[in-house]
Amino acid sequence: MALDLERIEKHCRSHTKVREWVREIMMFDRVDSTNRIALEMASQGLPGGIVILAEAQEKGKGRLGREWFSPEGMNLYFSLLLRPYQPARDFPLYSLATSVALIEAIQRTTGLAVQIKWPNDVVLEDKKLAGILLESEVRGEQSPPLVVGVGVNVNIGLTDFPPELQKSATSLRIALGRPVDRADLLIELFNQLVEQYRLVDDKALLIQAVRQHCQTLGRRVRVQTARQEFEGWAEDLQEDGALLIRMGDGNQRRILVGDVTHLREVKDPSAHGRSTPA
């Protein structure tokens, strides 16, 4: 079913809080990447609050140069251009806030309990359901523009995924056994983004919400950074969103950027997080 843009726009116009963050929605049938278009608009000086929404992406962006599989008419793919007043060092908090917003929107729309896999994936039973990609072109500005890219597997079927993704990815339709109205989900997601983005200035409260939903905490993980790879226990989150890893010698390592793999479904009882492993 086609995405009901008219209903989405009507909701945004009629809700003042949402309108502060979502001022204009530009919808495309097919693009190479919604993030690329949003970054281009940022470079042209366009204001924040523009959403680039597409029915399909030919080169959807994932983290670490990966591609986000984006078939036509099944899922949600959009990028939100923001012009935050916070410094760029606080931008990772927008990824965590978006993750919490996704969890709340999915719960309210479908009843499904999903979780965060640090730093920016939303998972259901250890399978990837949604991903978030932040991009910014820092050119000396104290508060540069920020693009928040979101991909949600909504109505894609298992056999619609490429073979290499069928064991690691899932969708709302697969989990529920029925299709989900994408407009309903996007409307609720916009509602939740408004609430969670306000918490970027209240870091302790935001991180508390992330802890409650973070599947990574308490798990033994493998961490890969640009320089090295190591294993340890994911112990806690700091107020800037950094993940604290307890090493075998008892020392802690702080990771703000990296790729995390869950090694096994064992919970460390000493971890601060209150998540429940799948």
- pTM of model > 0.85: yes
Residues 38 and 15 in one domain: yes
DSSP run (H or E) holding 26: strand 24-28
pLDDT at 265 over 60: no
Residues 254 and 134 in one domain: no
At 115, the amino acid letter reads Q
237 is a domain residue: yes
Residue that the structure tokens 């999915």 belong to:
106
CATH number, domain at 160?
3.30.930.10
Torsion of CA 263, 134, 79, 167, to 10 degrees: -10
CATH number, domain at 251?
2.30.30.100
pLDDT at 98 over 70: yes
Average pLDDT, rounded, for the chain: 91
Whether 34 contacts 149, CB under 8 Å: yes
Tell me how many domains the chain contains.
2
- pLDDT of 116: 97
Helix/strand/coil for 239: coil
Task: Out of 213, 231, 249, pick the residue that ends a domain.
Answer: 213
Q: What are the pLDDT digits (tens) for 221-244?
A: 999 988 889 999 999 999 999 999
Q: Which of 262, 269, 225 is nearest to 115 (CA)?
A: 262
Q: Which domain covers residue 251, as residue numbers?
A: 220-264
- pLDDT of 108: 98
Question: What pairing do the DSSP bridges indicate for beta strands 50-54 and 24-28?
Answer: parallel
Q: What are the pLDDT digits (tens) for 186-201?
A: 999 999 999 999 999 9
Residues 180 and 230 in one domain: no
